A and B are shown apart, each in its own frame.
Chain A
Amino acid sequence: MFSRELKALRRLDPRQFLLQALNYAGGMATTLMFWHALCLATNCESPVVVVLSGSMEPAFYRGDLIFLTNPASERYHIGDITVYKVPSQDIPIVHRVLETHDFFDSGVDQQLLLTKGDNNPVDDTQLYGGLEYLERKHIVGKVRGFLPYIGYVTIAMNDFPRLKYALLGGLGLLGLLQRE
């Protein structure tokens, strides 16, 4: 089944190989540029996030893909579903805003937020690592829309690292060896 690919591998000369590698690198660079342009447009460090836990069921299940924006001038309201990161941990958490307190004094626009997962019995105070309320700077973005189940591939790749290496290795080989 791989006889054609093995023949191509034997016939490969350095110039062709370098040309393929250049095409490959060009494609990756374009993808990276689009991703960063999206991050800038939405003012969000990761505008597409996969839901990792079941704390927002039945709204979001593990593996759903959600789209975030983080407009700098907009305040968050209760009922918004936000993704936030507590400074002590690096895991983004997708929960709904339960309380907001907006301070307008002395030119400082400060907003304190309290969140809770729909499927959790209590609010998130215990997850805040010592803080009583979240501040605006902890919020990564607000959920605008979502696609079901698409992100399950990334969860599977995290749970089975060999799958990730196999997929990436296979794709890399195919990309380098194919002529078209």
Chain B
Amino acid sequence: MHTIWSRINNISALLSSCMMGLFAAIALSSLAQQFFQAPLDPSSVSITSLKVAPGKGKQSKVDHALVQFELDANLTPLFNWNTKQLFVYLDAEYTNSKGVKNSVVIWDRIVRSKSSAKFHVEARQKYAFRDVTGFRDSAATYTLRYNLMPHVGALVYGVAGSTNNSIPFPPLAKNNV
């Protein structure tokens, strides 16, 4: 009972129990805080320019959409003691004429501090928006979503804002873009 092995055993068992209790308390308290929080102010998402460029064979076999957008968001209420970072992404969702439901992320950003959680962005897309299943004659809704990654615990997903109406894809641009 009083050997060094049993003492090390007892101390390490107590340490691991306390650490598990602490992690559980942090994770559950931050989830509870989000549950009882007032909902976020909706962010504004607007598309300033949308063009469809033709696929040029060797480089890009399919048509591409070229999007420029403007975002205005305030995600500061999401930062609490258990927030490690926010992964913010802008996606385009559309159901094409063949019934295929598509979602494509066109822009993302990692927000690591409360001060950078309030931002105004005017940019063009980061990732290629390829016409894999056909977006002729369909319209897309652009939504700004976030993924809250905690220091400890469960990941939380949410919607920050959206162009609530869908924006149709224009016909193919005649000249090379």
Taking beta carbons and an 8 Å cutoff, which residues of A are in contact with B? Answer: 58-59, 77-81, 96, 98-105, 116, 118, 123, 143-148
Contact status of A79 and B23, CB under 8 A, knowing A59-B149, A98-B127, A118-B110: no
Decide if B89 is an interface residue (CB 8 Å cutoff).
yes
Cα of A74 to Cα of B10 in the assembled complex, Å: 44
| In contact, B133 and A101 (Cβ under 8 angstroms) | yes
Inside 8 A of B153's CB, which chain A residues have their CB? 145-146
Contact call A98/B105, Cβ cutoff below 8 A: yes
Give chain A nearest CB distance to B26 CB in angstroms. 11
Residue among B27, B110, B132, B154 making CB contact with A101, cutoff 8 Å: B132
- Complex Cα spacing A78 to B146, Å: 11
**Interface residue B25 (Cβ < 8 Å from any Cβ of A):** no
Q: How far is the CB of A97 from chain B (nearest CB, A)?
A: 8
Chain A residues with CB under 8 Å of B155's CB are: 81, 143-146
In-complex Cβ contact of B154 among A59, A79, A104, A145 (8 A)? A145
Q: Which residues on the B side are within 8 Å of A58 (C-beta)?
A: 84-85, 110, 112
CB-defined A-B contacts under 8 Å, sample of 7: A78-B104, A79-B105, A79-B147, A81-B147, A99-B103, A101-B100, A146-B153
A104 to B133, CA, bound (A): 13
State the CA gap A102–B103 with chains docked (Å): 9
- B73 beta carbon closer than 8 Å to chain A: no
B89 in complex: contacting residue of A78, A104, A146, CB < 8 Å: A78
Q: Which of A100, A144, A147, A148 sits near B103, CB closer than 8 Å?
A: A100
List of A residues within 8 angstroms of B154 by Cβ: 144-145
Chain A hits for B112, CB < 8 A: 58
Q: Which residues of B contact A103 (CB under 8 A)?
A: 100
Query: What's the Cα separation between A81 and B150 when bound, in Å?
Result: 14
Given contacts A99-B103, A101-B132, A147-B152, could you give 4 more A-B pairs where the C-beta distance is less than 8 Å? Answer: A79-B145, A99-B105, A101-B100, A118-B87
Among residues of A, the one whose C-beta sits closest to the C-beta of B127 is: A98
- Please tell me if B91 contacts chain A, counting CB pairs below 8 Å: yes
**Other-chain residue from B91, B99, B151, B157 in contact with A105 (beta carbon distance below 8 A):** B99
A116–B126 Cα distance when bound, in Å, is 13
Distance of B29 from chain A, by nearest CB (Å): 15
A145 (CB) vs chain B CBs: closest residue: B154
Which chain A residues border B91 with CB–CB below 8 Å?
Answer: 78-79
The verdict on B58 contacting chain A, using a C-beta distance below 8 Å, is no
Q: Which of A98, A145, A146 contacts B104 (CB 8 A)?
A: A98
Instruction: List B79-108 residues whose CB lies under 8 Å from chain A.
Output: 84-85, 87, 89, 91, 98-105
B85 and A59 contacting across the interface, CB-CB below 8 Å: yes
Given contacts A144-B155, A145-B154, is CB(A105)–CB(B98) below 8 Å? yes
Within the complex, what minimum Cβ distance (angstroms) separates B128 from chain A?
A: 9
Q: How far is the CB of B52 from chain A (nearest CB, A)?
A: 17
**B residues 139-171 touching A (CB-CB < 8 Å):** 145, 147, 149, 151-155, 157
How far, in angstroms, from A77 to B157 measured CA to CA in the complex?
Answer: 11
